[in-house]
Structure 1
Amino acid sequence: MTTSRRGFLRLAGLGALAAGLPACSSVLPAPDTAAPGFGTSATGPVRVWCRANTQEGLTALVASFNASQDRLTVELTPIPDVQYVTKLATAIRARDVPDLVDIDDINSLLFVYRDAFTDLTDLIADLDFADRLSPGHLALATVGGRRYAVPYLADNSALFCNTRLFERAGLDVDEATTDLDSLLDAARRITALGGDVRGWTFPGNNQGSLGFVVQPHVWAADTDLIRGEVGAQSGNVAGNDAVARLLEFYRALWVDGLVPPENFADDASRWGSDYKAGRIGMIPSNYSTVTTDTDPELVAATTVRLLPGPDGGRAFFDGGDNMCIPRGAANASGAWEFARFALDLPQQSALPEGGFTPVRSDVATPEFAARHPLVLPPLLNQDEGYAPQTLSYNQIYNQPDGPWLTMLRRAVFDGEIEAAMAEAQIGYDRILRQAQT
């Protein structure tokens, strides 16, 4: 059996975690997940924290769960995303944790590393659909072969294409999206249609969004911008041909006027508005951004492909939420019952209505595919999803003064690609070294 591109990176990361993580223990007790009736007979309240950015999906889920039985009452508390990690860490130190946390999957590892979450390995293994769950989500909460989270919803990056503009430009979507050269040619031909039409768009001044939609081009080349095991990681930027070619691609988009000039200052506050206006050929983004409050006729004229690498391959950012039970949870049994409910097919099938993608690949029945075609490529190609396994993601990719955004802007807008990569290498190494001392 061959290993997929994303699988190669994921297996390397998991092996590193197993070898590189020091033993650590929590001051909070772990619930007995093997106790009789665990996850089936609990009573009382279940305190659940969720991210404010994904609150809409959880609100309907909670209402449905509370109406489905009379033993448990889920109490939902949304936490602003920028405060989530700090508030959860504070709750753990105060020994007053919620029963379940719905957390950004990229942050799962921060707490797994500190032994703050309950081992769910055996519970997940007992699910009859365990092999259909998003491997990217699971990888971000797996250490030493043990799993400390179950996926709930996916928020994946992909390439959304306006087929109207492709047809006007005489382009075939599949042929035009195979690698970076074909994307650049397609962007030129679409822009040549004239007026305010552009081939591509991107939020050039928002670090988090760029991390979400730009990195997959590198992963599709079977490499990452970080190398090594957690605890001994360094940057993999300088000398990385995939990174250099990616930056050259974005530089050409900018210099050749294939993107709107507003991209220079775009902080993602109006991300997708130009695509929704019908004047953009391709937008790397997510399902919610492209489809929310969009003309249904444009949605119907949109098609999706995974993001290609410099010479082919496909990848996407495996974002979204994991559900984790903190050690010390007062009602861990009720928490698992709610998590299990969230994974049932009716609840998973409804996720696109809130702007998200299911984490169970077996959701993709013919009926589901007909209703939600734009979520299918990541859902049906889960092994191509990936997210970096590092304790330093936020410092590198989500800080406005971090090395990621600094590199992109210097390379794309100033044209100093080699210097930008060298500077980023220093920044990556410094942040990763600080996290490991």
Structure 2
Amino acid sequence: MRSRGLRALAVTAAALLVTAVAACGGDDPAAPGASGTAGVDDGAQLTLWTRAATESVSKAYADAYNKTHKNKVTVTSYPNEEYPAKLASAAGAKALPDLFGADVVFAAQYASQGLWTDLTERLAASGLKDKVSPGHLNAGTWEGKNYAVPHTVDMSVMLYNKDLYTKAGLDPEKGPTSLKEFAEHARKIDKLGGDVNGTYFGGNCGGCVEFTFWPSVWGAGGDVLDAKGENAKVDSKEMADVFALYRALYDEGVAAPASKDEAGPTWLGALQSGKIGIAPGPSVWLGLIEEKGVKMGVAPISGPDGGDSTFIGGDAIGVGATSTKAAQAWDFLLWTMSEEAQVEIIAKNKGVPIRTDLASNKYSSADPRIVLINSLVAKGKTPYAKNFNASFNDPQSPWLQTVRGALFGDAAKSLTDGNTAITKSLQQG
């Protein structure tokens, strides 16, 4: 299976990097500024890789940085499901980018494999270690050393189109308070007809479904994994109920037809079109959707009968272990963590700052939707599993097969068989 191949490739890549970093790593004393802890801005051309879900934020950082610095950062994004394989291939070829971000749930894996440069001394000297998202830092720590810093803090929420709510006779200031009510709202909006659809979801994207469906399971009192991340619990009644609701919306034509094949890259665009009534998605999309002139409301993701939760995610980012421009790459990372970047790029655009000391700022306090998003942190979860990628996010993962079956095939059998296959995957290696 491809998932096994990815794990083998990643292990091989890590072994290769031991010599690769020694030969050309960013801590080469000959590199300008590399022996210190400060960043260097000397006109270096830097490459940054990101997954599609974080592309917009990464480019916003890069664009602003490029306007005020000699160094120039070029961002390249890859489809969410293909990204881990792309990184593993680059590591094996000793050709990692200068910087690369990753879903925070994979940060420990990449740190343990040596794919990022050790940032411990630089982070300590920056004075920011106690001011940025501790969950992200913890995820990017291996054997007491820091290999990654927060890039985005994201949570899953319900995003709804206020204009379509009004046209459908719904109150644009009141989002759904349960998943069943979400379905009712979506059905009413779908009746507007034309090219309007009630809802949208990533039906061919394991990560998308985790991020948006799992909070409903948690909200209903269920769970997806055991505490150690070694046993799956996807065959629960709570999970079955959530899948059944989304499946009904698709079968009825309330969910846009493209939902079946959505693998991640065009997920945001669907909501930016202004033709989707309500859909669960990343909180960081609020500002990106409104940039297109679409007025949005925000509500928590709930269980079928209530009970709010959220998937606390986002991305961590570090310096590629084979980069020869570690000091310059660090200059960019330092700037992204600055108050200027966090307030004027993230908070201004309805995002959640990675800085805990900037959670309350001139933009968040003025927008009750942001206050709501920030309040969900206490109710959310970030799942942990050593073999998370192979079990859940890889295109060949048993989770994606389970998702496809639960939404478009034999639902009961898919959840039962999927639970067995996912547990087996979680316990490998």
Measure the CA separation in 2 of the matches of 1:428 and 1:201.
26
Cα separation, partners in 2 of 1:164 and 1:60, compared to 1, 3 Å: closer
> Does residue 348 of the first structure (1) align with residue 332 of the second (2)?
no
- Give the structure 2 partner of residue 424 of structure 1: 418
Q: Cα deviations across residues 301-359 of structure 1 (Å, max 9, x unaligned)?
A: x1112322345443333443322235575454444333111111221234358896532
Task: Give the conservation status (yes or no) of the 8 Å contact 2:62–2:75.
Answer: no
Measure the CA separation in 2 of the matches of 1:254 and 1:83.
26
Task: Give the conservation status (yes or no) of the 8 Å contact 2:196–2:276.
Answer: yes
TM-score scaled by length of structure 1: 0.72
Cα separation, partners in 2 of 1:206 and 1:333, compared to 1, 3 Å: closer
Aligned-residue offset at 1:190? 4.3
Aligned-residue offset at 1:237? 1.6
- Give the structure 2 partner of residue 237 of structure 1: 234
Q: In structure 2, which of residues 312, 317, 320 is the aligned counterpart of residue 323 of structure 1?
A: 317
TM-score scaled by length of structure 2: 0.73
- Give the structure 1 partner of residue 151 of structure 2: 152
Aligned-residue offset at 1:284? 1.3
- Give the structure 2 partner of residue 9 of structure 1: none
Measure the CA separation in 1 of the matches of 2:258 and 2:57.
31
Residue 325 of structure 1 aligns with an amino acid whose one-letter code is V
Q: In structure 2, which of residues 355, 363, 370 is the aligned counterpart of residue 360 of structure 1?
A: 355
Measure the CA separation in 2 of the matches of 1:76 and 1:162.
33
Cα separation, partners in 2 of 1:190 and 1:75, compared to 1, 3 Å: closer
Q: In structure 2, which of residues 385, 388, 392 is the aligned counterpart of residue 397 of structure 1?
A: 392
Measure the CA separation in 2 of the matches of 1:163 and 1:222.
30
Residue 104 of structure 2 aligns with an amino acid whose one-letter code is D
Cα separation, partners in 2 of 1:203 and 1:97, compared to 1, 3 Å: closer
Cα separation, partners in 2 of 1:173 and 1:226, compared to 1, 3 Å: farther
Aligned-residue offset at 1:194? 6.5
Task: Give the conservation status (yes or no) of the 8 Å contact 2:196–2:275.
Answer: yes
Task: Give the conservation status (yes or no) of the 8 Å contact 1:378–1:385.
Answer: no
- Give the structure 1 partner of residue 279 of structure 2: 283
- Give the structure 2 partner of residue 78 of structure 1: 76
> Does residue 246 of the first structure (1) align with residue 242 of the second (2)?
yes
Cα separation, partners in 2 of 1:141 and 1:184, compared to 1, 3 Å: same
- Give the structure 2 partner of residue 105 of structure 1: 104
- What secondary structure does 2:384 align onto? coil
Residue 232 of structure 2 aligns with an amino acid whose one-letter code is G
Measure the CA separation in 2 of the matches of 1:323 and 1:271.
23
**Map 1:122-141 → 2, pairs under 5 A:** 124=123, 130=129, 133-141=132-140
Task: Give the conservation status (yes or no) of the 8 Å contact 2:177–2:300.
Answer: no
Measure the CA separation in 2 of the matches of 1:26 and 1:188.
55
- Give the structure 1 partner of residue 31 of structure 2: none
**Map 1:203-214 → 2, pairs under 5 A:** 203-214=202-213
- What secondary structure does 1:110 align onto? helix
Measure the CA separation in 1 of the matches of 2:344 and 2:303.
32
Task: Give the conservation status (yes or no) of the 8 Å contact 2:225–2:231.
Answer: yes
Cα separation, partners in 2 of 1:145 and 1:168, compared to 1, 3 Å: farther
Cα separation, partners in 2 of 1:127 and 1:374, compared to 1, 3 Å: farther
Percent identical among aligned pairs is 27
Task: Give the conservation status (yes or no) of the 8 Å contact 1:140–1:389.
Answer: no
Q: Cα deviations across residues 24-57 of structure 1 (Å, max 9, x unaligned)?
A: 995546969xx98412578784744322635565
Aligned-residue offset at 1:369? 3.4
Measure the CA separation in 2 of the matches of 1:43 and 1:223.
52
Task: Give the conservation status (yes or no) of the 8 Å contact 1:197–1:279.
Answer: yes
Residue 317 of structure 1 aligns with an amino acid whose one-letter code is F
Measure the CA separation in 1 of the matches of 2:404 and 2:305.
24
- What secondary structure does 2:255 align onto? coil
Structure 1: tracts of 5 or more residues without a match: 1-23
Cα separation, partners in 2 of 1:425 and 1:55, compared to 1, 3 Å: closer
Cα separation, partners in 2 of 1:220 and 1:174, compared to 1, 3 Å: farther
Aligned-residue offset at 1:130? 4.7
Q: In structure 1, which of residues 300, 314, 319 is the aligned counterpart of residue 308 of structure 2?
A: 314
> Which moves more between the two structures, 260-269 or 313-322?
260-269
Name the Cα RMSD after superposition.
4.4
Measure the CA separation in 1 of the matches of 2:220 and 2:121.
34
Cα separation, partners in 2 of 1:162 and 1:74, compared to 1, 3 Å: closer
Task: Give the conservation status (yes or no) of the 8 Å contact 1:203–1:268.
Answer: yes
Aligned-residue offset at 1:424? 0.9
- Give the structure 1 partner of residue 179 of structure 2: 180
- Give the structure 1 partner of residue 298 of structure 2: 304
Aligned-residue offset at 1:243? 1.1
- Give the structure 2 partner of residue 20 of structure 1: none
- What secondary structure does 2:160 align onto? strand
Measure the CA separation in 1 of the matches of 2:245 and 2:172.
18
